[in-house]
Structure formats: structure tokens, C-alpha cells
Amino acid sequence: MATVYLAHDPSSKRDVAVKVLPRESLGKEANSLERFEKELETIASLEHPAIVPVYDMGEENGQPYFVMRYMAGGSLSIMIQEGKLSLQDTARIIEHIAVVRMVKRNIIHRDIKPDNILFDLNANPYISDFGVAKLTEVSVDANTENRVVGTPGYMSPEQAYDQRVDARSDVYALGLVIYQMLTGRSI
């Protein structure tokens, strides 16, 4: 849905990631801007040490963007490609990001996958990409945008079949991620 660029913020003297909604998405998909704004709103409401922080947001010539921490340690998918992780490393990573589940009680991420688990230079894991997350009290229709959202290989059966989903869909996806971490195999 969006493009992420590496940039340098001269005022803070740090590298940052800038997520930009492409102009072509603004005209093509009626809900692209709404989803982009919803992601920013969701992240802002979930301030937590295991969620990639957002520093700034704005619009330039009608093109919305937000600035977030650059995660220089790469993604979990890169680590998995290099081979299986130890049980201790897997437990440390999952324990750190699973705490977010408790904090974000009313959020269903709907796209938990290795590409959305990022690391800083100290190997601390963070959850990213809340573009298809839903704020809910109990459960939501998986297909509220009139199309299935998320990454097919990580979707719970309920999400894939456009049925009501709740936090268990994220737990299902997290189970697949743990499998990949421990086996070094892709889904």
C-alpha cells in the first residue's frame, strides 16, 4: 500500500524511515488514504516500547507521509533466511512482542509476519505495519474493506474465509512465525 524510504533527519541527526502513500494509490483505491490515516491513528494510540515509534506526520503536495524510527537491525524474515533461531532467541523475541498483545487489547493487527517484526541495532524486536489493523471491542469482520486484507500465508482460516476475527487470528499468525523461527523454513 505504501512505500518506505530511508532518510536522514538533519535536525535530530538520525536516520529515519519515511512511509509515503504513493500518488497513484490516492486515485486508484478509494480507501487507501483512509487506511493510511487509520494506521497512523492506530500507532499513535498504541505507544509501547515494542511498537516502532512514529516521530512526525504530514502531507507534501497532497501526498501524506509519516516519519518513524529507522530499524537498522533489519527484519525477522532476514534472520529466518539466514537459518533457524535458537529456542532462547525465539523465546526472547516472542516474549518481547507478545507483551504488546496485552497492551493492545482492542487491536487486531491482522498482518503478523516476519516482515513486520523489525529490530534495532541492539537486536530489540518491534512490531510494525498497522495498515490493516482494526480497533475492536471483541471481533470484526475480516473483510470490512470488501476484500481480504493481510498476507495469505499468515491468515487464520477465519480471516482467509472472510469470517469474524478476533485476537486469536494474531495468535495463529504468531504461531506460524514461531514455527518459521525454530525451523528456518518459509511458509
Q: How far is CA 85 from CA 26, 33, 77, 94, 115, in A?
A: 40, 38, 11, 12, 16
Closest-CA residue to 95 (of 87, 84, 105): 87
Catalytic residue among 56, 89, 111, 166: 111
How would you classify residue 46: left for phi > 0, otherwise alpha for psi between -120 and 50, otherwise beta? Answer: alpha
The single-letter code of the amino acid at 67 is: V
DSSP labels, 77-102: HHHHHT-PPPHHHHHHHHHHHHHHHH
Question: Any idea how long the chain is?
Answer: 187
**Which stretches within the chain are classed as H helix?**
23-28, 32-45, 76-81, 87-103, 157-160, 167-183
Active site includes 129? no
Task: Write out the catalytic residue numbers.
Answer: 111
